[in-house]
Structure 1
Amino acid sequence: MDAPLNQSKKKILIVNNNLATGGVQRSLVNLLNHIKEEYEVTLLLFSNSGSYVQHVPSEVKVIEAAPLLRLLGMSQAQARNLGYTAYSLRSTFALYTKIFNNHLPISLLISNQNKLSGFDVAISFLHNAEEKSFYGGCNEFVLQRVQAKLKVAFIHCDYSNYGGNTPKNQQTYKKFDKIAAVSEGCRQSFVKAIPELDERTQCVYNFHNYSEYITKANANPINYSDGHLNIVTVARLSSEKGILRGIDVLKRLVKEKYRIRWHIIGDGSQRNEIEKKILASDLKEYIILYGNQENPYRFIKNADLFFLPSFHEAAPMVFNESKFLGVPIITTNTTSAVEMVKEGFEGTVCENNEEDMYKAIKRVLNDPNIIKDYKNYLTAQNYTNVTALEQFRKLIEVSNL
């Protein structure tokens, strides 16, 4: 009798905080769906919660962390729903972190988890946060509580600039066998900060669910008004996304009588400030806030342009989502922008300032054929996860050590 196939499969443990809405979590679920049959995968979540839980394939074994460690994977509101004890504990840890740092809280919470063993590869999928944030801990968990032949940490950020490039985090990353960066730009930013890890750091691109994108895009897509340039942004409404300076750019264009509308999908800490600036700039007719949307793809599909005015970014998944849906991109020059947006074919990467954003949008307003050429190019491309899967297979080869 033949041996069961799973006896020959490599055993992989992947650790993440939760499966709440976010680029890291979306990338993780897409990865799981691409490796579910090739490997024996176990997913450990600090908190088995979030909208993406329902999208984890049945072939993946999901386990939740010890009760105390779950506090590190949930929000304060979620802790409140668990009762006074959980709420008080999380509040205490969060306050300590704000005053001092997250070193002790993370260490204490991780120590409550029994050690796990029997894995060929253990992956920390969530990069460490800056030290005043009660967030992260996946790196320490993999290093301290898991026995595996190969230990890997993923980087989803512009490491040199995101706020977590600290001596302690640097020492933590040096303990891993390999580092996986989700773009070449992210890899270069990380290696710039920790040059001695150059040879241990490689790219593993984000995985995408292209069939989901097109299905959702075709589900009641938004039809925008003719006679306007309709630009769309899907982003968290926080300072690094540059929405406030984008409003200034639009104000200039409207003042010059250009017919333009900006559709913004997302929510966040800066929403009130953004709303006030839109009203103060008399742009309510031209800038529409839709808040968080379960299906952003129906907003992207019929837009003329995707616009991202960020001060800094890592490797936004929304770039590939937009390109796949045939929507060209105007973005500021952040870590991976030049790598991910082919200049003059898929859109344009402008310098990271208001003046260059203004010129880039004005250029396509003055010559609509530019957008038509971009769209023709994008719709002729073939989008797959073949490269990402090859990179992942190479990453987890223990023999490469």
Structure 2
Amino acid sequence: MKKAVFVVKSLSNGGIEHSLVNLINTIEDYEVTLIMSKNHAPLLPLIKKPIKIKYLTDTGQGIDTRIFLKESFVNKQWLSLFRVSWRIGLFLISKNMIPLNNFYLNAYPLEEEEYDIAIAYDGGLRATSSYVIQKIKAKKKIMWVHEDYSKLVEIEKKTGGSVFKYFDQIFCVSKGAKEKFLELYPELSDKTKVFYSIYSKNDFYKKATNQTSDYNYKGIKILTVARLGQEKGHDLIPEVISKLKSEGYQFHWYLVGDDDGVKSTLEKEIKNRQIESYLSIMGGKGNPFPYYRDCDIYVQPSRQEGYCMSMVEAMAFGKPIIATNFLTAKEFILNHGTDGLIADISSQSLYENIKKMLDDENLRMSISKCYLQKKIDTKAEVEKFYAI
């Protein structure tokens, strides 16, 4: 049996991690090892086959900056704390992540086991990519691209090519992500392909069956499923709600997702605008599918997305979608006004498009019908994995 090792920061409740779980559950005839740089894996029970698990924190201080700092402080390793603080300072000035990654990796020996395929699943200039390149013996090394690479800072754009050239294959999760990646690194075009996340409508339905959502509102329910982070555009929402509230619209907006740095700011804004009865922060949900099933409108206010799984999931349940015009939005909504609405990345445009959707029940019904007729299944993508 062939051996594959996936290296990823964690198995937290995010889109990248869910797509990894789906891929591991789909591939056959591989002995799978999962290496995580952070001891955090709430999605592990979703993996339905026996796999080997390894945490880098078990054999060292990890390759995650926050964990390394915490472990150094707790264990009173003052020299390590000084050294990493010095390198973090250099990174903040230069924005070059590679020397910091290499410092973390110095503590780790070469992996003893040899694999057929080694995959840096969260890819890019993270230390997980460097770990795959430097510390794992494998016949083929693969990197996944989940982001819009046009959003990188200049030093990352310049240094990326010096890392990515060591991978035998690079998979981008969408056409848009591939296009932006190759604009920066055209020399990698021969080894770069699109590999869509693996999913099926039937799997989504099964996960929603006999499960309940804890909505506490009986009118129109708007849903957003995304980490509460800057790039996801949650900061646009309070102003949108304030405008709709002032015009007498009745609805409730639910945010499902773990906090990634903006929750406290968002809560203050909700209180200041007095929109507590219009907006609820629900936290992360291991199974968000009942929330898709029971909502009426889905909104994706992101500033950037390499591929937006939550839009796929909302479509599977026939929920009319409003999305901002991030890189790959038009890969989902082909015709504005026919199979969804695309807003500019601003609260004003988002407000106008949500208002349009709230006002027009026929529009909501026609978009829903369009989605329900779609074939939503990408399981054939696994053949690209077997062809590596």
Same fold by TM-score, threshold 0.5 exceeded? yes
The CA deviation string for residues 246-267 of structure 1, in whole angstroms up to 9 with x for no partner, is: 2212222221222232111233
In structure 1, the partner of 2:162 is: 171
Q: Do the aligned residues in 2 keep the contact of 1:46 with 1:73 (CA within 8 Å)?
A: yes
In structure 1, the partner of 2:349 is: 356
In structure 2, the partner of 1:121 is: 117
In structure 2, the partner of 1:133 is: none
Q: Check if 1:146 corresponds to 2:136.
A: yes
Q: Do the aligned residues in 1 keep the contact of 2:61 with 2:68 (CA within 8 Å)?
A: no
Give distance in 1, aligned partners of 2:196 and 2:301.
22
CA change 1:284–1:55 in 2 (3 A) is: closer
Give distance in 1, aligned partners of 2:139 and 2:301.
42
Q: Cα RMSD over matched residues?
A: 2.9
CA change 1:174–1:99 in 2 (3 A) is: same
Aligned residue among 203, 227, 251 for 1:236: 227
Aligned residue among 174, 177, 191 for 1:186: 177
Aligned residue among 55, 58, 61 for 2:52: 61
Aligned residue among 86, 91, 98 for 2:88: 98
* Equivalent residues in 2 for 1:2-21, closer than 5 Å: 6=1, 10-21=2-13
Q: Do the aligned residues in 1 keep the contact of 2:61 with 2:67 (CA within 8 Å)?
A: no
Aligned residue among 299, 318, 321 for 1:329: 321
Q: CA deviation at 1:83?
A: 8.7
Q: Do the aligned residues in 2 keep the contact of 1:247 with 1:278 (CA within 8 Å)?
A: yes
Give distance in 2, aligned partners of 1:346 and 1:90.
54
Q: Aligned AA for 2:307?
A: A
Q: Aligned AA for 1:197?
A: L
CA change 1:54–1:329 in 2 (3 A) is: same
The CA deviation string for residues 113-140 of structure 1, in whole angstroms up to 9 with x for no partner, is: 22445333221112235xxxxxx31211
Q: Do the aligned residues in 2 keep the contact of 1:334 with 1:352 (CA within 8 Å)?
A: yes
The CA deviation string for residues 145-204 of structure 1, in whole angstroms up to 9 with x for no partner, is: 223232211111111204473322221012222211111111111111212212221111
- Aligned pairs, number: 378
Q: Check if 1:310 corresponds to 2:302.
A: yes
Give the secondary structure class of the aligned counterpart of 1:165: helix
* Equivalent residues in 2 for 1:235-384, closer than 5 Å: 235-266=226-257, 267-343=259-335, 344-384=337-377
* Equivalent residues in 2 for 1:35-114, closer than 5 Å: 35=27, 37-47=28-38, 49-65=40-56, 67-69=58-60, 71-73=62-64, 76=67, 84-85=74-75, 95-101=85-91, 102-111=97-106, 112-114=108-110
Identity of aligned residues (%): 26
In structure 2, the partner of 1:34 is: 26
TM-score normalised by structure 2 residue count: 0.86
Give distance in 2, aligned partners of 1:49 and 1:289.
22
Q: Aligned AA for 1:388?
A: E
CA change 1:58–1:159 in 2 (3 A) is: same
Give distance in 1, aligned partners of 2:65 and 2:10.
7
Give the secondary structure class of the aligned counterpart of 1:71: coil
Q: Do the aligned residues in 2 keep the contact of 1:46 with 1:69 (CA within 8 Å)?
A: no
In structure 1, the gaps of 5 or more residues are: 1-5, 130-135, 397-401
Give the secondary structure class of the aligned counterpart of 2:304: coil
In structure 1, the partner of 2:94 is: none
Q: Do the aligned residues in 1 keep the contact of 2:225 with 2:310 (CA within 8 Å)?
A: yes
CA change 1:290–1:62 in 2 (3 A) is: closer
CA change 1:368–1:93 in 2 (3 A) is: farther
User: After the TM superposition, which of the residue ranges 179-188 and 212-221 deviates more from structure 2?
Assistant: 212-221
Give the secondary structure class of the aligned counterpart of 1:62: strand
In structure 2, the gaps of 5 or more residues are: 92-96
TM-score normalised by structure 1 residue count: 0.84
